[in-house]
Chain A
Amino acid sequence: MNHAEKASKFIDIMARFTDYSSKHLPDDILLRLREMRSEEDSDMANIFYDAMFEDLRLAHELSRPCCQDTGMLQFFVQVGTRFPLIDELSELLRESVIRATRTAPLRHNVVEVFDEKNTGTNVGTHIPWIDWEIIPDSDEVKIYVYMAGGGCSLPGAAQVLMPLEGYEGIVRFVFDRITSYGINACPPLFVGIGIAGSAEVAAKLSKKALLRPIGSVNPNAKGAELEMRIANGLNAIGIGPGGISGKSSVLGVHIEQAGRHPATLAVGLSTGCWAHRRGLIRIDSEINYEILTHKGATI
């Protein structure tokens, strides 16, 4: 296959995978939602869970985006330095988004700042947003597709605390956001927390925490314990599906951390909704692909 053929095959795969990701939730989220539904005993909450599963069934059957807010497209890319399409990767991803917007179809969700006009294509200035990690000595690429909806992006926040405010300050920050903004963001929520030395690092880590599959834990034992304690605490509040109250509140709580400055303790928060559309695909140097988040998926 020559270079141009590889590029066109890549666009085709990524457009179809983006389209697919708007219609199907990843396996870990589905599994967790099923668990939560089976544990729920409130009638009102179960009306919501039933609606959610009926919606997913129809989305699959009719091949339609399961939520009308197909979000802004974000790609978290781990690209090998020898991946043959590395130079034009961002242009190819842009093309894939334009194509998926037509085929899925995805909602037009990119408004240019200052012009205040919707581009109508789902691409725009710096959008799709691409986060880069360069992998040495590799000729393949792994790409997370993430659809950041408006409702579930709204609780997002970052703040730099003074170290003496402590981890208590972080816990309060998270709980305050979730019980105010979070209840409108289509719970059960997936809560991502970043802890670092400055706001932008904490914010970015908080989003990356949502890429990890549910069930995985923070590599630091204390971090893993705090994830569990915050999840239990939020569940005890009983926000329920849609915020109408119920037995639990969250799909999960993940924390990612970076070293901090001695004089700062920054916290970032990102939330995913129950329709957490996150897909992971691996593409090799011959542009063969493997989907890692949706078992048995055909695109």
Chain B
Amino acid sequence: MKTKVLNTPIRDEDILDLTIGDMIYLNGYMVTGRDDVHQRVVLGGKKLPVDLRGGALFHAGPIMRERDKEPGRYDVISIGPTTSMRMESTEDAFMAATGVKLIVGKGGMGDRTNEGCKANKVIHAVFPGGCAVLAAGQVEEVLGVDWLDLGMPEALWQLRVAQFGPLIVTIDTKGNNLFERNKKIFNEKKESAIAEINTHLHYHE
């Protein structure tokens, strides 16, 4: 398990040596995007209003507060990762359309994203789920927001982050997938756990 700091714009060579289980911290440019942003870009064919080449995408729906005397300027109250798997069906196309290099969320993603990461040289990493105030403290500035018509959690928030992490690499560029590997182990252990419990379920006369 190695630790690495990534700065945007992230180049392919910055992430090719990363392997699942490695820990990273991010400095630089990151946008939020979840279900509706993927819907618009991939299914709706709309162009992302920001340049995400070399940047990071955060599967997150934050709580933001608009500043009293500065309409249109926001501060982050709480921002943690959301379930990445919901974006599984569109993430490969999103990568190809935007040039994003790092995707942060929680939980695993599937084979399709795995293939997309290999082909587009992208990594997926997790931020500890639910740790939203911790993450908020690592956001230096909310640079702007687009697509606010989607509502606060779904909008495309643009952030500058510093020492954002800990992030654990869960899909690398070499085809490894930490959660898929874990799932196999969990499923094997599951069968023996169930078999053990089943020997104790004699409730009928």
Contact = CB atoms under 8 A, between A and B. Distances in A.
Interface of A: 43-44, 47-48, 51-52, 54-55, 58-59, 62, 64-70, 105-109, 111, 118, 120, 150-151, 154, 166-168, 171-172, 175-176, 179-180, 183-186, 222, 225-226, 229-230, 232-234, 236-239, 241-245, 273-275
A168 B130 contact: no
A64 B193 contact: no
Given A151-B129, A167-B201, A179-B190, A243 B1 contact: no
Interface string B169-183: 010000000110011
A233 B108 contact: no
A67 B62 CA distance: 9
Interface residues of B, number: 54
Contact of B61 (A107, A167, A171, A242): A107
A275 B186 CA distance: 23
A59 B200 contact: no
Interface residues of A: mostly helix, strand, loop or mixed? helix
Contacts of A51: 128, 131, 134, 166
A65 B77 contact: yes
A68 B134 contact: no
Interface stretch (B45-53, B78-86, B114-122): B78-86
Given A67-B130, A68-B78, A233-B193, A120 B168 contact: no
Contacts of A172: 194
A183 B201 CA distance: 26
13 contacts: A48-B128, A55-B128, A55-B131, A55-B133, A69-B82, A105-B77, A175-B194, A176-B190, A183-B107, A183-B183, A186-B130, A229-B200, A238-B185
Given A184-B108, A236-B192, A239-B186, 5 more contacts: A47-B128, A55-B131, A66-B132, A68-B62, A233-B197
Interface in B144-160: 151-154
Contact of A273 (B108, B129, B185, B190): B129
B60 interface: yes
- The 7 A-B residue pairs with the shortest CB-CB distance in the complex, in nearest-first order: A184-B107, A233-B193, A186-B129, A118-B151, A51-B128, A55-B131, A68-B132
A184 B85 contact: yes
B28 interface: no
Contacts, number: 174
A151 B186 contact: no
Contacts of A59: 133
Interface in B23-58: 23
B132 to A, nearest CB: 4
Contacts of A118: 151-154
Interface string B98-130: 000000001110000000000000000010111
A179 B108 CA distance: 12
B197 A171 contact: yes
Nearest to A249: B186
A36 to B, nearest CB: 14
Interface centre among A168, A176, A244 (most CB of B within 10 A): A244
Nearest to A61: B133
B18 interface: no
